[in-house]
Homo-oligomer: A and B are copies of this chain.
Amino acid sequence: MAEAASAPSPSRAVTGDSEFDRDTAVVRREPGVYDIDLSAGWTILGAVNGGYLLAVLGRALGDALPHPDPFTVSAHYLTASRPGRAVIRTETVRTGRTLSTGQASLFQYDDEGNEVERIRVLASYGDLAGLPDDVRTTAKPPAIPPYEQCFGPADGPDPLKGVSAITDRLLLKLDPATVGWAIGQPSGKGEMRAWFGLADGRDADPLSLLLAVDALPPTAFEMGLKGWVPTVELTTHIRHRPAPGPLRVAITTRNLAGGFLEEDAEVWDSEERLVAQSRQLARVRLA
């Protein structure tokens, strides 16, 4: 808790009444169908962040399924989402005692008003509060310097500064060891680490973990690659309800080949608990 305690405590927004909650709110049109206006506040260079989209879909499924918490969410990204009107269509695939499985697709509209599918997910939900306390984790929290020694968008030159609306909504402080890309000196390693929180102080929960796994700069930047790194598929396992306080996110890439790479993310909470694991397959432009 020591490191986390050194993090700032902004005026704390309450879960349920925060930017993140308002911008992921879905409106039930009919059973299993939800409307939402995708916020421009979670874009990176104009593109809607994939983790924000995942949280929106996760929220719809949390309403549609009998279990409250995402345990494993597999998302395939089809076309780039834009801020604005979208509809989410869910299907309950199976309902079990401890797990239920659902599917959800997010659609937007083309110039003729036809629905265009942006992202489709398969997810299994359960109740995190109902899990036994047994922990035999051998993984270790990432070695990230104390919060005040890490770098946020305001601390660095462009492109770290003000390139994306989402940076105003996140408390993102990058490990100095993985920030070289921002000053033209990438480390060459497939690593990205940061302290992560919501700017308005809203505590983390399983939905915001879906945002956290896809909110850091791409590891490709530290490997000397530039440009967009579109996600093809992203699967996230939520393993425990996060404690209050900033999260630590560590992302590693071990296999950059054939124009694709994987990004493995771990999210640790302030009580040294591994609360989420994710892996995505993404495309890169080879420099």
Contact = CB atoms under 8 A, between A and B. Distances in A.
A223 to B, nearest CB: 7
Contacts of A72: 76, 232-233, 281
A233 B74 contact: yes
Interface string A81-93: 0000000000001
Contacts of A155: none
Interface residues of A, number: 49
A125 to B, nearest CB: 11
A181 interface: no
Contacts of A114: none
A199 B122 CA distance: 34
A138 B190 contact: yes
Nearest to A128: B258
A260 interface: yes
A76 B122 CA distance: 7
A185 interface: no
A257 B190 contact: no
Nearest to A260: B239
A78 interface: yes
Interface stretch (A30-38, A58-66, A129-137, A201-209): A129-137
Given A76-B124, A256-B137, A279-B279, A117 B132 contact: no
Contacts of A256: 134-137
B255 A137 contact: yes
Interface in A85-133: 93-94, 99, 101, 103, 117, 120-124, 128, 131-133
